[in-house]
Amino acid sequence: MLHSKTRWHSPAADPDVVAGLARSLSISPLLSSLLVTRGMTTPDEALLFMEGGADEQHDPFLLQGMAEAVPRIRKALDEGEHILVYGDYDADGVSSTALMIYLLRYLSASFDIYIPHRSNEGYGLHNHALDWALQQGVSLIITVDTGISAYHQIAYANTLGIDIIVTDHHEPPELLPEAFALINPKIPGCPYPFKGLAGVGVALKLAQAMLGPDTPEAWTEIAAIGTVADLMPLVGENRDIVRRGLLSMRESHFPGIRALLNVSGITMSTVSAVNIAFGMAPRINASGRLDHAGRAVTLLTTELAAEAEQLAAELDVLNKERQLVVERIVAEATAQLEATHESGSLPDIIVLADTGWNVGVVGIVASKLLERYYRPVIILDIHPETGMCKGSARSIPGLDIYEALSSCAGLMDHFGGHPAAAGMSLHRDQLVAFAAALNQYAASVLSPEHFIPAAAADAEVSLAELSLQAADELDKLAPFGMANPLPKFIVRGAVIQETRTMGQGSKHLKLVLQQDGCLLETVAFGKGALAELLPVGTVLDVLAELTVNEWNGSRKPQLMLQDLAVPEAQLFDLRGSADAAGKALYLKEMLRPYSGSSPFHAAAVFQSERTAVQSGLKGMSLWVYDNDGGISAIGQEQNAAPEQGISLICLMDMPETPEQLDALFATFSDVTNIALLHSIKEAKERLQIPTRDHFKSLYKSLASMAASAVPEREVLLRLSRQSSMSMRMLSRMLDVFEELDFIERNQGRIVFVSQPAAKSLTASRHFVRLGEVAEMEQYFMESSLSQLHDWMLSRRLGAS
């Protein structure tokens, strides 16, 4: 049994509303239900969502501050003022800066740009940058994707005689800076109807305010990149921006975008929001994480194809370096966490800090630890000389990390961000108090349920419903991203018809699932190790996305596995493994993430004469079969261990009697997984289910060779040479003959009884016993996994 890693839940759509919408729009019930569960219950709402329209676009002058900003920029243009675009180093900040460059080029402005270095300067406006701007003759600064929290810096700029127009989308603080104009849809009282714009979205609105209908449509390509990369909700106006941007990008004339698509392995004609998120955005971000974001800005704004190709290749190399750096820090952070919390009890908010943790990637590290431990995580890099810490936070639903940071604002030099992600800086002397204050806040907000990850599904369906036509129809819901994820479906009771691994190092998993005659391929990236847990015939529940697999002109539906569950107890066939103990430990670690909310415990059972095997079974409860037909724990600690609650039993040796097997089932009545790790006896050494012919043949042989007393060992050797039966089998058959008075045994010698009384073989207790033990051995040694599973199930039911 494998428990799913997440709790699956799917909304229940009103069937009458679904049916009505399907009729009105002539769409399938599946698509109709997806629209309804996403809030589109009327034909007009559904059509606007699927096809877009002017209703998703809003007047830029509805943004508070826009009416003041536009005349100030026009004045700067008329009077030849030097303008500075002050940006940020992430993909949204890079996109915002690039879009503003295109606007100022279009307006023939005199301008320069400034993006702070992530590691050396950190986020936001800095006074030394303002001093530099003054030296360059700057009299107007336009911030993009930053500035809303820069109260003191903007006050300083005012003393220098520099006007600042802030365009930002981050959460505004209580005390707003006294800038010339503040443009942010989240400012209290701002009448702009859509609050979810990215920083580049706000920059685009400024461009539209300046140019009106002359705003180039191609600029939506830049806006789409930043919107998707910054994980903004793809609903409302963001959906319109990204949809238009993708449409333009498929025929992009920007050398930088074309080169970036090419180096990311993305086909221009089919580029999607998912491609931006996982292909383009990481490479843009790599520039600001490991180098300076200016390189990415140059890529997006260059007019030279050769330069674009060179810059795109450099970003690709940086991204590969970034991946290696992330892997190292994740390993170090994990070790630090587990060393400080050996008991396994984790804080509500994980706060980890160390020197040498590249501040450019700590946000990614936080995300990876959040995924592993499912709780808010803050990762900070400590400057070895100054002791200053710069870090990033990632949070789970249920805890607004920006609010959490606000509750201990006095401990930090600076912070800012969103409910799900934030950045901060503080001195290392404040780290202990910082972590304590955050966890005190979390204790008042979070409950145990918040730490159980949930996965939202769109519907529970059959495999037959997930057709190629359905996959094509889902495209009407694109672009997919935050607040409009790619639909996920729950399929229950599918049977695995094929299991195999694929990719370099067998890293990925491919299954063929069957349900009611329908077959569907399912792919799980990075889950190749699960192949051993999912043999053919396993009944499986899956949470998956529906995609189209295109190869050599052929198109077919394919599932992308997100999570899985095996609702029935499982039997893992690892019989004859060369390193049985190593396999047991490996299996234990593989199953642990799929153990559900209960603690995971594993036990190993072996024959009493093989106690040396226990040294290789660290962390497992150890048991031996005993001579009385039962099993018993080894050591005082094992006797104290609960018999219930064992999730995995590893049979290092097979039981020698059915009673031992029954005792095992009686002792571990709730076990959900059994691994067969016993050795396989050679055919010559196995028992055979006894037949009358076996005994008839043996009787004749004994009559000829044991008319007078003969050593039993000699008899067995001669009999084994004459038949295909093992010495073990022949010895047990002699037990039957002795019990029936067909032979006599005396001091290791055998003599044949020439005229015994007629007796039935079935009257022999040894005959019945031999049949039972031989049957069990045959199942454990020779049968298929399904045959052994069914037989063990019948024994288990009998034992219970």
- Tell me what pLDDT residue 481 has: 92
Q: Can you give the CATH number for the domain in which 695 is found?
A: 1.10.10
Do 676 and 689 reside in the same domain of the chain? no
Do 461 and 449 reside in the same domain of the chain? no
Do 71 and 209 reside in the same domain of the chain? yes
Cα–Cα distance for residue pair 131/441, rounded to 1 Å? 39
- Rg of the chain over Cα atoms, rounded to whole angstroms, equals 35
Do 402 and 440 reside in the same domain of the chain? yes
Query: What are the E-state strand segments in 223-319?
Result: none
- Tell me what pLDDT residue 640 has: 41
- Tell me what pLDDT residue 641 has: 46
- Tell me what pLDDT residue 343 has: 62
CA distances from 220 to 85, 200, 237 (A): 19, 10, 12
Sequential DSSP letters for 356-378: T--TTTHHHHHHHHHHHH-S-EE
- Answer yes or no: is 408 within a domain: yes
- Tell me what pLDDT residue 282 has: 95
- Answer yes or no: is 135 within a domain: yes
CA angle 486, 3, 668 (to 5 degrees): 175
Which domain-ending residue is among 151, 186, 217?
A: 217
- Tell me what pLDDT residue 639 has: 41
Do 67 and 195 reside in the same domain of the chain? yes
DSSP lists the bridge partners of residue 571 as 674
Contacts from 605-613 at CB under 8 Å and sequence distance 24+? Answer: 605/631, 605/649, 605/650, 605/651, 605/652, 605/653, 605/664, 606/651, 606/652, 606/653, 607/653, 607/656, 610/652, 610/653, 613/580, 613/581, 613/652
Cα–Cα distance for residue pair 661/675, rounded to 1 Å? 14
> Taking Cα atoms as reference points, which of 89, 87, 85 lies closest to residue 286?
89
Please state the domain count of the chain.
Answer: 5
Do 420 and 553 reside in the same domain of the chain? no
Phi, psi of 99 (to 5 degrees): -65, -40
Cα–Cα distance for residue pair 316/350, rounded to 1 Å? 31
Please provide the distance, in angstroms rounded to a whole number, between the alpha carbons at the two ends of the chain.
19
Cα–Cα distance for residue pair 533/511, rounded to 1 Å? 12
Helix (H) or strand (E) holding 421, with range, is: strand 421-427
Do 443 and 464 reside in the same domain of the chain? no
Query: What are the E-state strand segments in 26-109?
Result: 82-86
- Answer yes or no: is 519 within a domain: yes
- Tell me what pLDDT residue 597 has: 72
Altogether, the residues listed in the chain come to a count of 800
Do 722 and 706 reside in the same domain of the chain? yes
Do 210 and 63 reside in the same domain of the chain? yes
Do 448 and 519 reside in the same domain of the chain? no
Q: Can you give the CATH number for the domain in which 474 is found?
A: 2.40.50.460
Which domain-ending residue is among 680, 696, 714?
A: 680
CA distances from 668 to 389, 610, 649 (A): 51, 21, 8
Cα–Cα distance for residue pair 365/378, rounded to 1 Å? 9
Do 70 and 213 reside in the same domain of the chain? yes
How many CA atoms lie within 13 Å of 255's alpha carbon, on the beta-carbon side? Answer: 14
Cα–Cα distance for residue pair 340/343, rounded to 1 Å? 9
Q: Which segments of the chain have a pLDDT < 70? A: 342-344, 636-644, 798-800
Q: How many CB atoms lie within 10 A of CB 94?
A: 35
- Answer yes or no: is 790 within a domain: no
DSSP lists the bridge partners of residue 143 as 86, 166
The token pair that represents 654 in the structure block: 């097979």
Q: Can you give the CATH number for the domain in which 420 is found?
A: 3.10.310.30
Sequential DSSP letters for 623-692: EEE-TTS-EEESHHHHHHS-STT--EEEESS--SSHHHHHHHHHHTTT--EEEE------GGGS-----H
Which domain-ending residue is among 180, 202, 217?
A: 217
- Answer yes or no: is 83 within a domain: yes
- Answer yes or no: is 203 within a domain: yes
- Answer yes or no: is 393 within a domain: yes
- Tell me what pLDDT residue 120 has: 84
- Answer yes or no: is 374 within a domain: yes
Whole-model pTM?
A: 0.80
Cα–Cα distance for residue pair 362/746, rounded to 1 Å? 81
How many CA atoms lie within 13 Å of 707's alpha carbon, on the beta-carbon side? Answer: 1
Q: What is the pLDDT of residues 716-745, one digit of tens each?
A: 898 888 888 888 889 989 999 899 999 988
Do 162 and 72 reside in the same domain of the chain? yes
Cα–Cα distance for residue pair 687/771, rounded to 1 Å? 9
Q: Which residues of 605-644 are buried (b: 16+ CB within 10 A; e: fewer)?
A: bbbeeeeebbeebeebbbbbbeeeebbebbeeebeeeebe
Q: How many CB atoms lie within 10 A of CB 208?
A: 20
Which domain does 380 fall in, by range?
341-454
Residues sharing a CB contact under 8 Å with residue 799, sequence separation 6 or more, in sequence order = 661, 662, 663, 665, 666
Contacts from 754-762 at CB under 8 Å and sequence distance 24+? Answer: 754/703, 754/707, 761/690, 761/692, 761/695, 761/736
CA distances from 551 to 218, 302, 519, 556, 558 (A): 31, 35, 18, 9, 12
